[in-house]
Structure 1
Amino acid sequence: MEFKKIKNKILKYIGNLILSVEHVGSTSVEGLAAKPIIDIDVVIEDMSVLPDIIKGLEKAGYEYEGNLGIEGREAFRRIKKDGLMKHHLYVCPKDGKGYLEHIALRDYLRENKDARREYEELKLKLARKYRNDVDTYCIKKTDFINSILSKTIYKKQD
């Protein structure tokens, strides 16, 4: 429900410039423990539309933050206070590494109950241990995430 509200807002301002709006991250996986923050990937054909996207999202109440050190993913921060649930918004090309990894992880967790349970246990353990250190929390999830990605988009071809 909250994702749809945000998606509709995005589509109103830049719908003609994009391919899709994807709900990614833990809140996109039913039954998975998650912080109350929605992760959203706005998918574009290529980076040539980024200047127009920036203008449109600024009108919609977002501030452009650049790639925050991650190539192929442009971040936006919500600066308008209008009751939308807290969310992270990223603009990604359809063939970008960040987008492809987000979708692969999301879809794998949606389809694999055991992996979902294992990931949830890891997240809860790390959240307790690194409650005030979000960077370490994220780093400590990397091996698990990479193990899933190695089974999906990075699986070895025979």
Structure 2
Amino acid sequence: MLGLPKGEVFLAPWTHTWQQEFQLEKEKIQQGLQQYILEIHHIGSTAVEGISAKPIIDIAVVLHDFHDGGHCVSHLESLGYAYRGTNILPERHYFNKGEPRTHQIHMYEKGSRFLMEQLMFRDYLRNNQDAKRDYEELKIQLSNANKHNKHKYAEEKTEFVRSVLERI
């Protein structure tokens, strides 16, 4: 399953399809943007095998220079993404795709603290079964309590994420 309707919060069991979707999307993104990007990463819970997640593929695109994000808009719009600007999330260009929403792109400049935190948290969960289990249990609890409030759902995960980042 892929896609989360606007205003809803629910989790789906992890599936190999998410990794395949990421790979397909990565190839499409790279085709028109090679001169601006350094790397493309699968981030978020769909990138952590075995953990339930909101069925949206989160993609981190690493730019040579933050201002290059503006040069990427038309190519990504041709792939069905909507550009949401730089004011939604700190120090990143943000794009989303679909209704229900199926993909999100977070464009960071190389060396961004926010990018490094995303990658460190993802990798920690991939390598720590106890943390992965605890995080999934928290996400299930929060998704059940916040079925129609994605902001509260995300906000209430923050303490767990911060505690992990402080340990690594």
Which residue matches 1:6?
25
Matched, 1:105 2:105: no
Give CA deviations for 1:58-98 in whole Å, capped at 9, x if unaligned: 33332221123432111012269xxxx81111111121122
Matched, 1:89 2:108: no
Runs of 4+ in structure 1 deviating by more than 6 angstroms, as ranges, are none
Distance in 2 of aligned mates of 1:75 and 1:44 = 13
Pair member with larger Rg: 1
Which secondary structure does the structure 2 equivalent of 1:39 belong to? strand
Which secondary structure does the structure 2 equivalent of 1:63 belong to? strand
Which residue matches 1:26?
45
Give CA deviations for 1:35-77 in whole Å, capped at 9, x if unaligned: 1111100011221322222233233332221123432111012
Instruction: Answer 1 or 2: higher relative contact order, Cα 8 Å, separation at least 6.
Output: 2
Which secondary structure does the structure 2 equivalent of 1:19 belong to? strand
Q: How far did 1:148 drift? A: 0.8
Residue-pair matches, total: 149
Which secondary structure does the structure 1 equivalent of 2:42 belong to? strand
Q: How far did 1:21 drift? A: 0.8
Q: How far did 1:30 drift? A: 0.3
Which residue matches 2:162?
146
Which secondary structure does the structure 2 equivalent of 1:16 belong to? coil
Of 54, 59, 62, which aligns to 2:73?
54
Among the aligned pairs, what percent are the same residue? 38
Which residue matches 2:91?
72
Give structure 1 stretches of 5+ with no counterpart. Answer: 153-158
Distance in 1 of aligned mates of 2:32 and 2:105 = 14
**Is the 2:88–2:94 Cα contact (8 Å) retained in structure 1?**
no
In the superposition, the TM-score normalised over structure 1's length comes to: 0.86
Distance in 2 of aligned mates of 1:127 and 1:68 = 25
